[in-house]
Amino acid sequence: MVSFLFKRLLQSIIVMFTVALIAFSMFRFVGDPINNMVGQDTTQQERDDLRERLGLNDPVPVQFGKFIVNAAQGDFGRSYKYQVPVSDLIFARMPATLELAFVSAILALVIGIPLGVYTALKRSGIASKFIMTMSLVGVSLPPFLIGILLILFFGVILRWLPTFGRGEVIEFTSWSTGFLTASGLKSLILPSITLALFQMTLIMRLVRAEMLEVLRTDFVKFARARGLPDRLVNFKHALKNTLVPVITITGLQLGSLIAFAIITESVFQWPGMGLLFIQAIADVDIPIMAAYLVMIAFFFVLINMIVDILYYAVDPRLRADDE
Amino acid sequence: MELLNIKNLQIEFPSRRGTVLAVNDVSLTVRPGEVLGVVGESGAGKSTIGNAVIGLLEPPGEMSGGNVYLKDEQINTLSSEEKRKIRGRRIGMIFQDPLTSLDPLQTVEQQLVETIELHLKLGPAKSKEKAIDLLRQVGIPEPEVRITNYPHQFSGGMRQRVVIALALCAEPEVIIADEPTTALDVSIQAQILELMRKLCQEKQVGMLIITHDMGVIADITDRVAVMYRGNLVEEGTTEKILGDPDHPYTKSLISAVPRPDVRLKRFPMVDYIEKEGERKKLLDISTHWLGQARDFDAVEGPLIEVKDLVMTFVTKQALLKKNRQMFNAVDGVSFDIKQGEVFGLVGESGSGKSTVARMISGLYTPAAGTINFGDTDLTKIKSEKEMDYYRRQMQMIFQDPFSSLNGRMRVMDIVAEPIRFHKLASSNAEVEQIVTDLLDHVGLGAQAAVRFPHEFSGGQRQRISIARALATRPRFLICDEPTSALDVSIQAQILNLLKDLQEELGLTMLFISHDLPVIRQMCDRVGVMKMGQLVEVAETENLFKDPQAPYSKELLSLMPKLDKLSHRGLEVEED
Amino acid sequence: MENTIEKTRLERFLDSDVWHSFKNSPVAIGSFLVTLLIILSALFAPYIAPHDPFDLAVIDILDSNLPPAWELDGDPRFLLGTDDQGRDILSTIMYGARISLFVGFASVIFSMIVGITAGLVSGYMGGRVDAFIMRIADIQLSFPAILIALLIDGIARGIVPKEAHEEVAVYVLIFAIGISGWVQYARTVRGSTLVEKGKEYVQAARVIGIRPGTILHRHILPNVMGPVMVIATIHLAIAIITEATLSFLGVGVPPTTPSLGTLIRIGNEYLFSGEWWITIFPGAALVILVLAVNLLGDWLRDALNPKLR
């Protein structure tokens, strides 16, 4: 167990290191950082001072080292555009994105997995065929278009639900939540459906494919040949074996929710990290882009670690390697 | 009284190219304590019978006629829920592959107790007691401890014992075993068959055993039913069918079985089964390209000399070299092969025999040791160009006819590839002429050249492989289990072809097989391998008559006894 | 006599299971026809489009924001209505599909070339090369394709001078979408290569002495193309969606040569004021195209892998 986790941790560090290197290169080599920080009328003398002060004259590896040390403490420099620390911007926006991603993840899992199991077990049924066709329509609808259609229908035509922003939020020290107000919850509905729909269809199709694979195995056939009732065969033997591969890929998918939120946030003007990022791209605000990249990688690594531990708990074959 | 009674069974598989009649009007009976064998080659339809009886035919297959009775009760017309209650409770089933038959995420205890509770309604404590008792009966040591293990913690043979325990746990009246030992080594096969036989008699269970293996039939069955392309051609006591068969198919099938007890000159032609195997147009080797002046260096002494060969595999990767777990698949093997000799390597799976072949052919690089081809040490050659010279003299035939040919290439291009690569012919027209001649010579006919591999049967594909191997005009041929994926009748044809070619072309051969009777038919000398080491090298006939190493003795004693088999019409080679 | 046995490519195709499954699948035929129709009308847009939406001489601002022809204020000259600048929606859709399909196909081809090469090399060589390529793939997989495309676009904006940006935008987009998709191909091809490498026909080629390059190209590549074609079809749908998404987010192709995504973005601003047709028709065109391609991909996967049905 320890060696397994250690190995995973090492891999995660390599991932974070690589991402940090990319982020640093963006910051250092895309455009001139000084030009981006100062106004037109700054003298050469002032520029040189700033360059020296920011350590941009140091050897590149030293700069990278400093970058990593700072990043580990949450310091990504100042935004070119807003002239405030990037970390302040990001942390202020983070709750919005995380709440949205969390609700969407729950939606996608709670609906996606049962539908996948159902369509695998009753694969020639009419309901299954309908669900499968709908899921193809689901993956064919770009998320931003889903958002637009929902806005058009529930916002513009029916006027039932708010179409932009988070509604009222309540602040807890540095965390602002929309979970505790009626308008906050109402505002969550359309964006979270938009974000969840695509992942839901993916998870459903994945669960179905894996389940069909497992249902064809010899041990399922042997379980039936022993006279075990369908309920036991399907849910005790087949489903558990399906979950092993599903956990990994689902973990990856959910990790990508945070990044996919960019689109949803943009459609619904949701004040999260994604909206910040997309504006940063339009403004070529490199520090924000770099910080966002590192942030996403961190969440991904975190989710992956959790997935690995789950994996380990489910599959005895992995545990056996320790003995 | 009959326990299981199958009457006029008919099974169809509809497909877009027409309906295939997998089983046609087959009637079988099994009595208590009796073992009935159903034997046949691939495509005989024997496996679908077992699935049809327990009501688990895989779609699109369907039972289109006939009835199945279990003790006078008709069971094929029952509802699916009633059929389920019969499965496991009254009819147990054992499948071929023990490695995939058990749920990997549940302990053996969970799987056993679940089945026992379901059928016998004993309650958890009693069920566990019974489960432990069953494991003891099937010969698993320390059943109290092992019962908490997961399937992957058992070896293949042990897992098949667990599968048998699962099939027996509700005390069924009939057991259907579908190729129960095909995935196992000979030594384990013998133990499992003995166990099945014993349990069958003790509990007065009727057993239907489905197999392609005459050895299994001879070992365990009381009566035999022979199937050919969906039809039951002959049925009778094992003594009668093996010793004095009536039907021509049974006769040719039995004559094709390699004998462990005598060495034959050739296998008799089994014309009942496949006609295209006949070699109609033979080349005159003395004048043809294939037999023409070979520009090889003359060699004195043995052609191949292998010394202290070692091959190491990493079984567990680790970051630090010292933490890596290594495993010597081949551990200090030395032997030589004289010119014109057929040298056999025999051993169970994992003994390293194929690894040796792969090192000699250059597919693996040995960790240590030397491989001399004539006077040249192949392990010292650095340049590809120089190696090509030896590759041309040394070719290989593989085990699996379905994966040894590239399905995207026409047979012409497959066989021509070595000729073109080594520039052995001057023009494209000449290449094509040579390929057609080769295909004729191995008994395929020239028109095979324009077709694709999937249009051929397993035996025919193996002939294509042989033609490809001959296309470099080699002097040394490595055959790695060349017939173990084939039906016996096809095996006989391919072995005959290899014998003929060896004689005509004066080939030196390394012949790898797990099958002792085949080794006896093919090899002049033989090496016995066990866990990466060579335990004995002897003249083949000496090995069979007077084995020296204890392991050789054990292997020989575990060989299926085929002395019941008819000897009629066989030409025995004199010493 | 040999000619009677030798089948031509066409004959073999007509006898294949894939063709047979296609013939018997109305969904496959339908989606194929729809895809073909959209591709053709995009390809020949300059000849068949009712108007040239980019010819400033023809566009009349007085025609702006007209609803579809069947609505009360509709104009029969503009079947699907006009946008804020008086451009015919149907024509802009046809021209927009041109850009969308061009970017889609180009980035799929780009991904395929990079991915297949990486997968073949990785699977066949194994060892350090394999570990290196797969580690890069793993790291890239940590990020959704859309994010990588966005980043590349953002970096390109930082590097390319503003004046040149519009000209190179499409190529930046192709590169961004292409590079974000190679991992899928690489992983699949690597997996198949590992399987094929272990098969005996590859070993037979090695025993003959055939060099690795030739083995990869002549033996392994043709045998791994089946799954690649399935991925490529589905990837085409994803690439079109990604392009549309990027353009919608305002970082894709410039409004001067709008793709379907750009059109939806432009129209989105008028959604609340009731001019729904400016968004909905390009959106519908996009969904129909993507759905048709997805249905084709779904069918192809089942046809190539009959076990799954």
pLDDT digits (tens, 9 = 90+) for B383-411: 888 899 899 999 999 988 888 999 889 99
Q: Taken in order B531, B301, B502, B264, is the CA torsion positive or negative?
A: negative
- Mutant choice from B79, B105, B160 vs A, greatest count of A C-beta within 10 A: B105
Out of B399, B418, B451, name the one closest to residue C200 (CB). B399
Q: Which residue has the tokens 């994105």?
A: A97
Shortest Cα distance, chain B CAs vs residue A65, angstroms: 26
Dist CA C150 CA C156 (whole Å): 10
With CB atoms and an 8 Å threshold, state whether B405 touches C207. no
Q: Are B438 and B470 in contact (CB under 8 A)?
A: yes
Cβ contacts of C255 within 8 Å, gap of 6 or more: C262, C266
Locate C79 and state its tokens. Answer: 């079947």
Which strand (E) or helix (H) includes residue B229?
none
Please spell the DSSP secondary structure of B147-208, one letter per residue: TTS-GGGS-HHHHHHHHHHHHHTT--SEEEEESTTTTS-HHHHHHHHHHHHHHHHHTT-EEE
The angle formed by the CA atoms of residues B401, B404 and B408, to the nearest 5 degrees, is 110
Which value, in Å, is the radius of gyration of the alpha carbons in chain A? Answer: 24
User: What percentage of chain A carries pLDDT values higher than 90?
Assistant: 9
Q: What CATH number has the domain bearing residue C285?
A: 1.10.3720.10
In a domain, C229, yes or no: yes
Shortest Cα distance, chain B CAs vs residue C99, angstroms: 36
Looking at the DSSP assignment, which residues form a beta bridge with residue B210? Answer: B38, B178
Dist CA A291 CA A87 (whole Å): 8
Q: Taken in order A43, A44, A48, A54, is the CA torsion positive or negative?
A: positive
Dist CA B448 CA A2 (whole Å): 59
Q: What is the pLDDT of residue A305?
A: 82
Chain A partners (3+ C-beta pairs within 8 A) = B, C
Q: What is the pLDDT of residue B108?
A: 93
Dist CA C281 CA C90 (whole Å): 8
Quick: pLDDT tens for A242-270: 888 888 777 777 777 888 888 899 888 88
Q: Residue C105: which domain range?
A: 18-308
Judged by a CB distance cut-off of 8 A, whether residue A211 touches chain C is: no
**Ordered alpha helix ranges (H), chain A:** 2-29, 33-37, 44-53, 60-72, 86-121, 126-140, 143-150, 182-215, 218-225, 230-231, 239-268, 273-283, 286-314, 316-320
With CB atoms and an 8 Å threshold, state whether C248 touches A144. yes
Locate B90 and state its tokens. Answer: 């009254």
Which amino acid makes up residue B306? V
Dist CA C252 CA C125 (whole Å): 38
At how many degrees (to 10) do helices C145-159 and A239-268 cross?
A: 40
**Maximum mean pLDDT: which of A67-76, B267-276, C106-115:** C106-115
Q: Are C84 and C91 in contact (CB under 8 A)?
A: no
Pick from A260, A279, A229, A249: nearest CA to A97 = A260
Backbone angles phi, psi at B341, to 5 degrees: -100, 150
Hey, is B399 helix, strand or coil?
coil
- Mutant choice from A123, A219, A228, A319 vs B, greatest count of B C-beta within 10 A: A219
Q: What is the pLDDT of residue A323?
A: 40
Q: Is the pLDDT of residue C4 over 60?
A: no
- Residues in chain B with CB shorter than 8 Å from the CB of A315 are 104-105
In a domain, C236, yes or no: yes
| Cα–chain center distance at A217 | 33
Looking at the DSSP assignment, which residues form a beta bridge with residue B226? Answer: B39, B234
Q: Are B438 and B467 in contact (CB under 8 A)?
A: yes
Backbone angles phi, psi at C205, to 5 degrees: -65, -40
Q: How many residues does chain C have?
A: 309
Which strand (E) or helix (H) includes residue B27?
strand B20-30
Quick: pLDDT tens for B244-278: 889 988 888 888 888 888 888 888 766 665 554 56
Q: Is the pLDDT of residue B128 over 50?
A: yes
Dist CA C111 CA C139 (whole Å): 17
Q: Which residue has the tokens 């001072």?
A: A49
Q: How confident is the model at residue B322 (pLDDT cuts 50, 70, 90)?
A: low
The conformational region for residue B66 under phi > 0 = left, psi -120 to 50 = alpha, else beta, is left
Out of C20, C201, C203, name the one closest to residue B363 (CB). C203
The conformational region for residue C65 under phi > 0 = left, psi -120 to 50 = alpha, else beta, is left
Judged by a CB distance cut-off of 8 A, whether residue A137 touches chain C is: yes
The angle formed by the CA atoms of residues B175, B178 and B183, to the nearest 5 degrees, is 125
Q: What is the pLDDT of residue C7?
A: 62
What is the four-CA torsion angle of B213, B217, B218, B220, rounded to 10 degrees?
130
With CB atoms and an 8 Å threshold, state whether C200 touches B400. yes
Mean pLDDT on B67-73 = 91
Mean pLDDT on C107-111 = 95
Q: Is the pLDDT of residue A57 over 90?
A: no
CA atoms within 13 A on the CB side of C277: 23
With CB atoms and an 8 Å threshold, state whether A136 touches C268. no
Pick from B524, B522, B513: nearest CA to B559 = B513
With CB atoms and an 8 Å threshold, state whether A225 touches B115. no
With CB atoms and an 8 Å threshold, state whether A219 touches B103. yes
Q: Are B9 and B26 in contact (CB under 8 A)?
A: yes
Locate C80 and state its tokens. Answer: 């699907």
Quick: pLDDT tens for A126-177: 998 899 888 888 888 888 888 888 888 888 778 888 877 777 777 777 777 7
The conformational region for residue B445 under phi > 0 = left, psi -120 to 50 = alpha, else beta, is left
Domain with CATH 3.40.50.300 in chain B: 28-56+79-241, 286-557
With CB atoms and an 8 Å threshold, state whether A145 touches C286. yes
Q: What is the pLDDT of residue B375?
A: 85
Out of A221, A223, A320, name the one closest to residue B153 (CB). A320
Quick: pLDDT tens for C138-156: 888 777 778 888 888 888 8
Which value, in Å, is the radius of gyration of the alpha carbons in chain B? Answer: 26
With CB atoms and an 8 Å threshold, state whether B396 touches C207. yes
Judged by a CB distance cut-off of 8 A, whether residue A15 touches chain C is: yes
What is the four-CA torsion angle of C38, C40, C43, C47, rounded to 10 degrees?
-110
Shortest Cα distance, chain A CAs vs residue B115, angstroms: 7
Dist CA C206 CA C191 (whole Å): 20
Please spell the DSSP secondary structure of C80-140, one letter per residue: T-B-TT--BHHHHHHHHHHHHHHHHHHHHHHHHHHHHHHHHHHHHH-HHHHHHHHHHHHHH
Shortest Cα distance, chain A CAs vs residue C119, angstroms: 20
- Residues in chain B with CB shorter than 8 Å from the CB of C222 are 406, 408
Q: How confident is the model at residue C309 (pLDDT cuts 50, 70, 90)?
A: very low
Domain count for chain C, please give it.
Answer: 1
Dist CA B82 CA B73 (whole Å): 12
Q: Which residue has the tokens 């399907």?
A: A234
> What pTM value is reported for the model?
0.82
The conformational region for residue B275 under phi > 0 = left, psi -120 to 50 = alpha, else beta, is alpha
In a domain, C43, yes or no: yes
Which value, in Å, is the radius of gyration of the alpha carbons in chain C? Answer: 23
Q: What is the pLDDT of residue A42?
A: 74
Quick: pLDDT tens for A269-283: 888 888 898 888 888
Hey, is A219 helix, strand or coil?
helix
Locate C194 and state its tokens. Answer: 């590992």
Q: Taken in order C69, C73, C76, C81, is the CA torsion positive or negative?
A: negative
CATH code for residues B286-557: 3.40.50.300
The 10 Å Cβ neighbour count of residue B419 is: 22
Chain B residues whose C-beta is within 8 A of a chain C C-beta are 16, 358, 361-363, 384, 387-388, 391-392, 394-396, 398-400, 403-408, 417-418, 421-422, 446-447, 449-451, 465, 468, 472
At how many degrees (to 10) do helices B550-558 and B186-202 cross?
A: 50
What was the ipTM of the complex prediction?
A: 0.83
User: Omega of the bond prior to B60 within 30 degrees of 0, cis?
Assistant: yes
Out of A14, A212, A278, name the one closest to residue C308 (CB). A212
What is the homologous superfamily of the domain B28-56+79-241 according to CATH? Answer: P-loop containing nucleotide triphosphate hydrolases (3.40.50.300)
Judged by a CB distance cut-off of 8 A, whether residue C217 touches chain B is: no
Q: How confident is the model at residue A288 (pLDDT cuts 50, 70, 90)?
A: confident
Dist CA A322 CA A301 (whole Å): 24
